[in-house]
Amino acid sequence: MNNEENKGTLPEDDVGRPDETTDIEDRINATLDKILDDDEDEFDDIQVDYEDPEDEEPDNEAPDEENREIRETEDDYEKTKVWTDSSEEADEEESEEVMEEEPEQEEEVPAVRSRHKSARPGPVIYVPMDELDQNSDVPPGTRAKKKTHKGLKIFGLVMLMIIVLGGCAYGGISYYFTDRFFEGTWINGVDCSQKTAYEVEQLMAEKLSEYSIEVSSRNIAAQTIRGEDIDYQYMSTGEILQLLKKQKPYEWIRGLYEQKSYTVSENVGYNKTLLQEQLKSLNCAQAENQVEPENAYVAFRDNQFVIVPETEGSKLNIKEAYKLLDAAVEANEASIDFSDNQDAYVSAEVTQDDPALQSALEACNNYTKASITYTFGDQSTTLDGNTIKDWLQFDEKGQLVWDDNSFQQHVADYVAQLAATYDTVGTEREFQATSGRTVYVSSSVYGWKIDQAAETAQLSQEIQSGTQTTREPVYSQTANAYGVNDLGNTYIEVDLSEQHMYYYQDGVNIFESDFVSGNMSYADRQTHAGIFTLYYKKSPDVLRGGQKGTANYYEQPVQYWMPFDGGIGFHDADWRDEFGGDIYLTSGSHGCINLPPENAEVLYDLIQYDVPIVCFY
């Protein structure tokens, strides 16, 4: 048997000795595991210039001794690797899957037996690891898989460490903000980032320590009240601490990109007595600077009535001004202007918007509009604004001084003047008798008489409402005609001297008769001269006179009774045989006009209530 054959076979007595083979395989596996698991990074750092012998061009045809020894060593290694591969077949299932993707090797490794070697150690040959890797039978996919697995483990460890460190940092910062405000937190315009509630309270107190308020007023330069003058100081309300408690520490990261602003009440304390004293010491509260307000009023200007507005004045209402100042100080206001609030000053009692003043203006304007024209037959007179305005009273400023009593008196006087001019009751008239005589008669019961009370009331109302009208005055008594001779053309003429009467209707004599009037021998029986009207008429009736139970008492039945002057009237007198003449001088009646019965009947049918009865001597 030659040496070539001995290299590829093992002695028959060595076959089937697993203890030696197993020991070699364990050592090889342990070496490889150590290299792959523990020193992989070191091997990766080693750079070896390695060239594939097959790619190199030999310098000479005969290999030297050293290369021969290397090849022999590689052959021995590969033979040993065959045994190792067969023993680790189950552990490299994963590598086989990767190897399936690579091209199959054309040459099979023959199953050989190791020949028995001498115990003498062979020469130690240095083989570069890269070369060893290339020459080894470890599948390339297995090697890459192990490297990738190792990198993932390292990456996972690094990421775990980062997460743990990040979590610790986040938790630490969250703990830091358990008693501090987040970044971007502002309270009442103060940056409270990373500050405790106490620190924020101190900032608030510091901000208010220099407090002052500027006080402005009408026509007076502004003055300043300093906080130290009224013991002004910050008082905590606990709102800042409540805001901090509502904050969730683990949300601290929101403060890095989100700003929040809060407003809390800045409760302050100060001495109110000192504040009152400061207010009273201001120039606007001094007596010499107080100007009383003036009321609005109605004035007659440019031929019309207008309202002159009130003036504000500068008299300070100390009580109301203090309330306003106190509220401003409590609200931490930097300034206050009393001019912005009417309550701070004494106001005019009458303003231009006052309803009573508006009514007065309307009434005054109506005075100038009012025009009342009175008619008295063919005569007339007019009352208008030119007269009415003179009834109003104005002061030296042209302000209307309204006095209703005075105004009403002017109206009453005007009505009285009308009555004096146009009333005919009680006046003496010139009368042309049928006999041709001119007589003068008067009457207290006949004629025109204005009802002055009623007319005054109506005229006052018309003036205030601006009425423009033409009318008669309100009369309490009227006559048949206007003018001095108000008898007209219809009347009854009773000529007592002639003892004869006439009834004229529209100037036509429709009735006449003799009569007997009152006995002139007795003063109390004489028929009265004057102008009268009929009271009523009655048929029949009983005339009674004198005092009952005395000698002068009488009762006289009549058929036609027509009274016109108290108990005096026209009636029939059937007990007389003669009428007219001078019978009345000594044998006249008790004052009545005695008529023949037939004439009395005619007159009873003709007489009207408003016909004047003119009696004269």
The catalytic residue positions are 571, 592
Strands (E), 189-326: 190-191, 212-217, 220-226, 233-234, 260-262, 268-269, 297-301, 304-308
Q: Are strands 233-234 and 371-376 parallel, antiparallel or unpaired?
A: unpaired
* Total residues belonging to the chain: 617
Pick from 604, 568, 560: nearest CA to 589: 568
Residue 603 to residues 132, 228, 425, 594: CA-CA distances in angstroms? 178, 111, 26, 12
The answer to whether 376 and 422 have CB atoms below 8 angstroms apart is yes
Amino acid occupying residue 429: R
The answer to whether 223 and 278 have CB atoms below 8 angstroms apart is no
Q: What's the half-sphere exposure (Cβ side, CA atoms, 13 Å) at 86? A: 13
Query: What phi-psi label fits residue 346: left (phi over 0), alpha (psi between -120 and 50 degrees) or beta?
Result: beta
Instruction: Provide the H-helix boundaries in 129-262.
Output: 129-135, 140-176, 197-208, 239-246
Residue 7 to residues 2, 20, 340, 450: CA-CA distances in angstroms? 9, 19, 122, 174
d(CA 363, CA 355) in angstroms, rounded, equals 12
d(CA 528, CA 546) in angstroms, rounded, equals 18
Q: What are the φ and ψ backbone dihedral angles of 127, each rounded to 5 degrees? A: -120, 120
418 membership: H or E segment, kind and range: helix 404-422
3-state secondary structure of 500: strand
Those residues with Cβ within 8 angstroms of residue 446's Cβ, 6 or more apart along the chain or in another chain: 425, 477, 479, 486, 530, 531, 532, 533, 612
d(CA 417, CA 415) in angstroms, rounded, equals 5
Q: What's the Rg (C-alpha) of the chain?
A: 72
Neighbours of 410 (CB within 10 A): 18
The answer to whether 244 and 185 have CB atoms below 8 angstroms apart is no
The answer to whether 570 and 539 have CB atoms below 8 angstroms apart is no
CA dihedral of 274, 276, 277, 278, whole degrees rounded to 10? 90
d(CA 340, CA 334) in angstroms, rounded, equals 15
